[in-house]
Amino acid sequence: MAARTPLSRIVITGVGLTAPNGNTLAEFRANLLAGKAGGEFIEMRYMGRVPAGVCHFDTLKYQKRKEVRVGTRAGSISIYCAREAVADSRLAWEAIPKDRVGIFIGTTEHGNVETENEIYNISQFKYDTKFWSHYHNPRTVSNNPAGEASLNLGVTGPAYAVGAACAAGNLGVIHGAQMLQLGEVDLAIAGGVSESIHTFGIFAGFKSQGALAAHEDPTKASRPFDKSRNGIMVSEGGCLYTLERLEDALARGAKIYGEVAGWCVNSDATDYVLPNPERQGECMRAALRRAGLEARNIHIVNTHATATPQGDIQECQAVADVFRDCPDTYINGTKGYIGHTMGAAGALELAGNLPSFEDRIVHPTINVEELDPACALPNLVVNQPVQVKQVDAILNNSFGMLGINSALIIRRYAD
């Protein structure tokens, strides 16, 4: 049997993001270390005021007013993040063959947002469909966010969405890395986006499940691991990366944020919404095997930690089992700052930890006033950042409804 050809090493060379508490990686990271959360009350039809994570990026930085009006919020987020990632990578963009670029964007919800809003709009006109937007179909197809980005950037290679519930951000990165290793593209723009706050359905759905966050201070509505946590703060956001083969990045002298070392995607096959800690543990262990690492080699575990009472406990059981006897492994979460950005969560929360390779600081989980004893993991970083000896590998958890799990490992780049 012929020997397998070694797969190319894949690295991150650019980051573009928007979050409820920052519109660049530098701003986002500074606010994570300062404990500054983004959350505000918005008026949601049929529900009144609800806490939400809202992004305040400049939609006109890369789009014209008509393009914003014709397109979608998810499309605007995708365009902003993609353009920012390309700029950050310092690629000679105009010289790159656009048919060798791929755009792979993880999403949770999309078409339902536009459909719900259109139905509400025509309800104001006695449901007369002549008022239905003729842009509805291109707005609602699942590939819309990637398609809008491809139109804006002139990318003629593959551009499509990866649907994976709240694990989608991780899967966007994983898929981009795989396409590079397969030789299907030479540059991948990959990650995840979310426009969740623009639909009342997701708020109403979580409320009916008893899983919608409530607090008099919207910046404290999302409280992962806190004993009084009461659910998810719905948020919008996005994070896209430029991914390249290592040899290409080195040839042009690119800055390398980290190497995509390993990953796993699996399924619980047990429940619509309740996570399965055994399957989550299997996912993390499989990612470690792919990366050729042991649990003790991971220095930061970024948890999915949605701030739902049972979900946090289930994940903590899985993390405790995988990372037992790992004194140099520190654990944090990001949703206390930004809420749950759904399809963007995995990619966005990973980005907040990448600077730890350089500064060796682990950002904390915030809004923990009284730690739930069932979530009291060893080396859980709470409320204040921690300076550590080294950060060589980060494991990023991202899980979703219908039992989809993802674990993504990024390693400090070393020759």
The DSSP output letter for 71 is S
User: Which tens digit of pLDDT belongs to each residue from 328-345?
Assistant: 999 999 999 999 999 999
Query: What are the residue boundaries of the structural domains of the chain, listed by start?
Result: 10-251, 263-410
Buried b (16+ CB within 10 A) or exposed e, 266-282: bebeeeeeebbbebbbb
Which residue in 344, 108, 367, 357 sits closest to 257, CA to CA? Answer: 357
User: Which tens digit of pLDDT belongs to each residue from 69-96?
Assistant: 999 999 999 999 999 999 999 999 999 9
Superfamily of domain 263-410: Thiolase/Chalcone synthase (3.40.47.10)
Q: Establish whether domains 10-251 and 263-410 are of one fold.
A: yes
User: Which tens digit of pLDDT belongs to each residue from 30-71?
Assistant: 999 999 999 999 999 999 999 999 999 999 999 999 999 999
Mean pLDDT computed over 128-151: 94
What lies within 8 Å, CB to CB, of 390 at 6+ separation is: 299, 328, 360
Helix (H, G, I), strand (E, B) or coil at 274: coil
For the chain, the average pLDDT equals 96
Q: What is the pLDDT of residue 5?
A: 61
Share of the chain above pLDDT 70, in %: 99
Q: Is 10-251 assigned to CATH 3.40.1280.10?
A: no
Q: What is the pLDDT of residue 109?
A: 82
pTM: 0.97
